Amino acid sequence: MPAQKNPDSNEDALVSRIARKLHFAKSAALPIGVGDDAALWHPTAGYQTVLTCDWFLEGSHFLREKHPADAVGWKCLARAASDIAAMGGKPRCFLLSLALPGELSGKWLDDFLGGLRRASKALRCEPAGGDTTRQDKVLINVTVIGEVRKDRAVLRSGARPDDLLFVSGTLGEADLGLRQLRTQKRVARASNAALRKHLYPEPRMALGYWLAQNRFATAMMDLSDGLSTDLPRLCKASGVGAVIAEGAVPRPSRIPEAQAVRLALDGGDDYELLFTVRPSNVPRFKRSMQKSFPRLAISNIGAITETKKLLLLKKEGVTQEFSSGGWDPFRKK
């Protein structure tokens, strides 16, 4: 609350430190950032602005005693940028709102800013400003500002009956990594692919942009809460249903099949893209994919239906209604 008296201005010092560590520099597109009342940003002519924000809270989204500070920094920006990929846009800049316990403003903060800076460089998304305050837990909110060429944004609502349904990469790996992290007694390291995907997810920026630019995707979203939670959202927005072949869903290897399937259907935090392609466009889409992304696995996991149901075709030939098992912070406990 206002009105406390104190001559030193630690908040300003903290803001300067953040700006320095993030190697914030003025650019033509971002003439004013950290340090004024607000950031000034030049939008590109012929583009729409894409806006998204994401919570990343200690205890809900990460555990201070198990997640490395550097991974917290990387992931808070990567997951917000993934929403820009899901619209077919490119990230441009971000705002960081950070609330921090006083005792973390040394090494923890430096490591956090190191991870954030790496993500900022990898995603070409510049720091533009933010807000800092003190709290007893680490609270992070990241706003990412991106751009998409006019009339190229891919919405959740564009899927039509008979469109084929695709996902990128492997589903369930990040959740497998989380399970491994939970069994560890100290701060985890990215010692295998699953842990790496949980700690340092790489949003599908190039794929999302390419799908939008080439008008291949009719609907698209990123998988943050798990296929079984996110697919219903896409179907609802489009006013359609879907049928999924369980056997076609790309899943983690080297673990029991039943567990791999559950993780692939319900596991959150993968940040892979879920998108639909018109049947007539599929041959051209597949040929172009092989040229542009020769090493990226894309799986056709099902198709869109007019009937507003979600059906799962099991391997045994049984069909069952697909029920949401992914992550929802407002679930009943």
Instruction: Identify which range of 10-18, 243-251, 282-290, 299-307 contacts a second copy by CB under 8 A.
Output: 10-18
What is the nearest approach in angstroms of a second copy to the Cβ of residue 81? Answer: 10
What is the nearest approach in angstroms of a second copy to the Cβ of residue 327? Answer: 4
Write out the binding residues for a second copy, residues 203-232 only, by CB under 8 A.
Answer: 220-222, 225-226, 229, 232
Residue 106 CA to residue 95 CA, distance in Å, equals 21
Match 């319900």 to its residue by tokens.
266
Torsion over CA: 85, 88, 89, 94 (sign): negative
Specify the residue, 55 or 293, whose C-beta has the smaller distance to a second copy: 55
Of residues 262, 249, 264, the one with CA closest to residue 297:
249
Binding mask 86-125 for a second copy (x = CB under 8 A): xx-x---x-x-x-x--x--x--------------------
When asked if residue 72 is in the footprint of a second copy (CB under 8 A), the reply is: no
Binding mask 258-297 for a second copy (x = CB under 8 A): --------xxxx----------------------------
H-run or E-run covering 300: strand 298-305
- Residue 208 · residue 87 · CB < 8 Å: yes
Specify the residue, 86 or 119, whose C-beta has the smaller distance to a second copy: 86
What is the nearest approach in angstroms of a second copy to the Cβ of residue 5? Answer: 5
Residue 333 CA to residue 331 CA, distance in Å, equals 6
- Residue 249 · residue 264 · CB < 8 Å: yes
Amino acid type, 260? A
H-run or E-run covering 322: none
When asked if residue 327 is in the footprint of a second copy (CB under 8 A), the reply is: yes
- Residue 183 · residue 80 · CB < 8 Å: no
Specify the residue, 155 or 282, whose C-beta has the smaller distance to a second copy: 155
When asked if residue 7 is in the footprint of a second copy (CB under 8 A), the reply is: yes
Write out the binding residues for a second copy, residues 34-63 only, by CB under 8 A.
Answer: 35-43, 45, 48-55, 57, 60-61, 63
Instruction: Identify which range of 19-27, 78-86, 162-170, 252-260 contacts a second copy by CB under 8 A.
Output: 78-86
Provide the CA 315 distance to its chain's centre, in angstroms: 30
Match 């996902």 to its residue by tokens.
167
Of residues 221, 185, 209, the one with CA closest to residue 83:
221
Residue 165 has which token pair? 């349904």
Write out the binding residues for a second copy, residues 164-183 only, by CB under 8 A.
Answer: 174-175, 178-179
Binding mask 122-151 for a second copy (x = CB under 8 A): ------xxxxxxxx---x-x-x-xx-x---
Residues that bind a second copy (rule: CB under 8 A) add up to a total of 93
What is the nearest approach in angstroms of a second copy to the Cβ of residue 49? Answer: 4
- Residue 120 · residue 77 · CB < 8 Å: yes
Indicate which single residue of 22, 113, 153, 301 sits in contact with a second copy (rule: CB under 8 A): 153
- Residue 171 · residue 267 · CB < 8 Å: yes
